[in-house]
Amino acid sequence: MTTYLMLITQVLSIMGFACYAASLTLIQAEWQLSNFESGFLASSFFIGYVLIVPLATTLTDKVDTRQIYLLGGLVASLGLLGMGHSSTGFHDAWIYLMLHGAGVSATYMPGLKIISDRVHIGEVSRHISFYTAFFGIGAALSYFVSGILIEDFGWRAAFLTTAIGPGLGGIFAWLGTQQLPHEKSLLDAQFEWKDIFPMERWKKVLQVKEAFAYMLGYSAHTLELFASRSWLVAFFVYCASIASPENTFPMTATLIATLINLIGVPASIIGNEMALRIGRHRWVFWVMIGSAMSGIALGAAVNLHWSIILALALLHSILIMADSATLTAGLVMSVPPEIKGSAMGLHSVMGFGGGLLGPAIFGATLDLSRAFHHDGWTAAYASIVIWGLLFVFYTQFYFWKTKRKSNS
């Protein structure tokens, strides 16, 4: 029952996640932003996420995680409200988007902690895979709702309306689960500055070499994932703008993004099942290679028929998500219980640190390529998939090889 509830709250908590991505081209034109500035605004979400997630997740080892989740939902709603009501340009929009990201950071991993602390029946990694996969459902719903609201009422109304979701999700998580005996109230807990970046506890996590490898992989994964999601609507808007009349796309860019994100849900769940059967290391190796190849092919396909572009986008989405649950489940299963919360915090810092860089790298590459009179999409996709290939090279030819020698 706990898992089902947290799946619902996660969908609500990221209701506004894709609102900026869905409105990027409109905001870019209205505020006369460069591609780098537009990408930086997308990255601002992850700046807030990375700044707060260490504190939020470390505190889950000490206090009532439900209260952290509730506070995070309310802060995320506040950021969306500010973006919709008060933003005037690049100089203040990044603050509201950063606030939104900070709030979401106090829901995503703490929500996973709520599940892992309360579910002790069956294969725990399956519960984790469903939870991570439902991020895709929430993101898809966010694209869909945001697209409708933007088309009918404008991008500001979309931010104001989707702001309802995170606060409501926080309330559901708080009321729908029970406080555990060892958890203190957030008001009674004693905080120290070292809780923000708990270096001593992180050192213990990093000593678990298996966990360190999964965190590196998660960093490459999230860089590619969130850069792709941030620019996906803009990519299809561009493809549609240069398409010939007989090559008209059959649906809007936001609807395409919705379907692509939904495809990622079974991909993550099935990916975890495949990893359980053939081994996590082998599965991550092949998936990351396939993701890189499909990403570059997608960027190069802007002038092709819409069906080919859509097929490549679906394939890329499937391969991006196919190792998502595997990497997170591998981390959770590889660390001892007493540092699990800190491990999740460091996992998020490293992973969403990649998410922070991805959209800005993508946008900067677009600007640089167009300075040389290229459309830039192939280079932009290459700039975000290369990191997965570097991780594969590191693990295949150094880390796992070294690990096998140390175990022999």
How would DSSP label each residue in 278-294? H-HHHHHHHHHHHHHHH
Instruction: Collect all residues with Cβ–Cβ distance below 8 Å to 384 and sequence separation of at least 6.
Output: 223, 224, 227, 228, 295, 358, 361, 362
Residue 198 Rama label (left phi>0; alpha psi -120 to 50; beta): beta
Tokens of 342: 């800190």
d(C-alpha 25, C-alpha 363), whole Å: 12
Burial of residue 181, with CB atoms counted within 10 A of its CB: 0-12 exposed, 13-18 middle, 19 or more buried:
exposed
Tokens of 99: 């606030």
Tokens of 144: 């869909």
Tokens of 32: 């006369």
3-class DSSP state of 25: helix
d(C-alpha 16, C-alpha 149), whole Å: 12
**Using alpha carbons only, what angle is made at residue 271 by residues 57 and 255, rounded to the nearest 5 degrees?**
85
Nearest Cα to Cα of residue 142 among 237, 238, 230:
230
pLDDT tens for the chain, residues 1 to 408? 677 888 899 999 999 999 999 999 999 999 999 999 999 999 999 899 888 887 887 777 778 888 899 999 999 999 999 999 999 999 999 999 999 999 998 998 888 888 877 766 555 666 777 787 788 888 889 999 999 999 999 999 999 999 999 999 999 988 887 776 666 666 666 666 666 677 888 888 888 888 888 899 999 999 999 899 999 999 999 999 998 888 999 999 999 999 988 887 788 878 878 988 888 888 989 999 999 999 999 999 999 999 999 999 999 999 998 988 788 888 888 888 777 777 877 887 888 888 889 999 999 999 998 777 677 999 999 999 999 999 988 887 766 565 555 454
Tokens of 320: 């991006």
Residue with tokens 């929430």: 138
In angstroms, what is the C-alpha Rg of the chain?
A: 20
Instruction: Note the residue count of the chain.
Output: 408
d(C-alpha 38, C-alpha 24), whole Å: 7
Measured from the Cβ of residue 335, the count of other Cβ atoms closer than 10 Å reads 22
d(C-alpha 346, C-alpha 351), whole Å: 8
The values of phi and psi at residue 252, to 5°, are -75, 165
Instruction: Collect all residues with Cβ–Cβ distance below 8 Å to 338 and sequence separation of at least 6.
Output: 61
